[in-house]
Amino acid sequence: MNTITRWWITSVFVVCSFVVQAEQKKVFDGPGESDYEVHYIAFNSTFLDADIAKQYGLVRSKALGVVNISVIRREPDGKTRAVRSVIEGRVSNEIQQQNMMGFQQVTEGPAIYYLAQIQFSEAKRLTFDLTLYPEGQSEALHHRFSHVFFND
């Protein structure tokens, strides 16, 4: 599969993900006058096309969710670019049971994003605690968000 086709498929995957739930982001101060934007989304793995799931080694299941994270650096002149990052993540449920998340990096053209799968029980709130180490940032970024998954 050529690069343009792969980039197009990935773009469709990301756009479809945003249809499921609106994109969310958090902005952090970066070095100098730059900023980092951490974009995040969580959705049920059954929303993935079977071929896309297979391409990225993801399992489609009514009890598995996908977390997609990307880190964008915004320069003082307004230009943006995706940056490589090390991401450590922990997910906890309502009774504080915790699991570590393992992220895989996906690079498609200029896009860099990180995917992790998590198991969930329907209609239960999960809280995600992320520690991000973006390339070029001397201090870790910390972000927390919650999401409720439903079986579809």
Q: Is 152 helix (H, G, I), strand (E, B) or coil?
A: coil
pLDDT digits (tens, 9 = 90+) for 75-86: 889 899 999 999
The structural domain count of the chain equals: 1
Q: When comparing pLDDT for 32 and 59, which is higher?
A: 59
Q: pTM for this one?
A: 0.81
Q: Which residue range forms the structural domain that includes residue 129?
A: 3-148
Q: Which residues pair with 81 in a beta bridge?
A: 73
Share of the chain above pLDDT 90, in %: 72
Q: Which residue has the higher pLDDT, 26 or 18?
A: 26
Going by the DSSP 8-state scheme, the letter that residue 30 receives in this structure is -
Q: What is the pLDDT of residues 42-83, one digit of tens each?
A: 999 999 999 999 999 999 999 999 999 999 999 889 899 999
CATH number for position 57: 2.60.40.3340
Backbone angles phi, psi at 136, to 5 degrees: 90, -5
